[in-house]
Each structure stands twice: as C-alpha cells, then as structure tokens.
Amino acid sequence: MRCLLQRVTSASVTVDGDVIGRTGSGLLVLACAMHDDTEANVASMARKLVSLRIFQDEAGKTNRSILDVGGSALIVSQFTLAADTSRGNRPGFSQAAPPDTGRRLYELLCEQVVDLGVPVETGRFGADMQVSLVNDGPMTIWLER
C-alpha cells in the first residue's frame, strides 16, 4: 500500500459540488492499494499512520502522533499513486490493485484507522474528486508498506 500523508490545518474533498469529507487539524492521506497488497499491508499502514510522530510538542519538536494531538484524518483513494513513469511520457497504472480489491483495501484502511482511535472522513472511491488543503509546515511524507 502506498500513502502520501500531508499534515494539514484543514482539508476537504468535494464531489459534484458537494463537500463529502473534511478534516481540521490532522492528516490528509492519499491512499493507493497496490496489486500485491494484503490485509497485513493495510494493518501495518494503519498503525504507521496513527503512530507517526510528525506533530509538534510543547518544545516545537515533531515528537507527537495524530493520536497524541487528538487530530483527525481525511483519507482519499488515489490510484494514481501507482503510476509507473519509467517508460515514455504516459504513466501506467498496472501496479494498482484491481478496482474491487482496491476499494476493499481502502475501506479496510479507513476502518482500521478509526479502530485505532482517529476520527476519519473519506472521499468517494472511484469518483472525480476535488481535494483542497492547507498544508501545515509544509509536512508531506511518502509511505509504502
């Protein structure tokens, strides 16, 4: 599983002009299930997302997790994170999980992050979405499991 995390002060996702998910201070997570991902990959990613110490403590050091700061997450599916740009100028996406598997693993990631104690809102799998965010820091991190 691949995720791009952005520490945000706010983020939202819009579909057909309607805001369907939002978060305040916390994380925007763009998530992509890869073709060989398993439930174990998803569980590992969920644990990493809630434990990663990328929020500031009282001394201004990035020493706190989203759990520590009581933040929330907006998790948006984004199969384009599987892009292969090694040949030519048109990205290939054959490394992404098939849609049914991708949806199942994306939904599982969201459920597991909630189960670990972080409130989650989501995008809509497979939809044309517009994502807005205010990146805090900026702090952007690439994760693979």
Buried b (16+ CB within 10 A) or exposed e, 38-75: eeebbbebbebbbebebbbeeeeeeebbbeeeebbbbb
Q: Which positions are catalytic?
A: 78-80
Q: What is the pLDDT of residue 145?
A: 87
Q: For residue 101, is pLDDT > 90?
A: yes
What pLDDT is attached to residue 41?
A: 95
Convert the pLDDT of each residue in 24-77 to its tens digit. 999 999 999 999 999 999 999 999 999 999 999 999 999 999 999 999 999 999
Domains in the chain with CATH codes: 2-144 (3.50.80.10)
As a whole number, the mean pLDDT across the chain is: 97
Give this prediction's pTM: 0.95
Q: Where are the alpha helices (DSSP H) in the chain?
A: 39-51, 66-69, 99-115
pLDDT bin (cut points 50, 70, 90) of residue 19 is very high
Q: What is the pLDDT, as a whole number, of residue 77?
A: 97
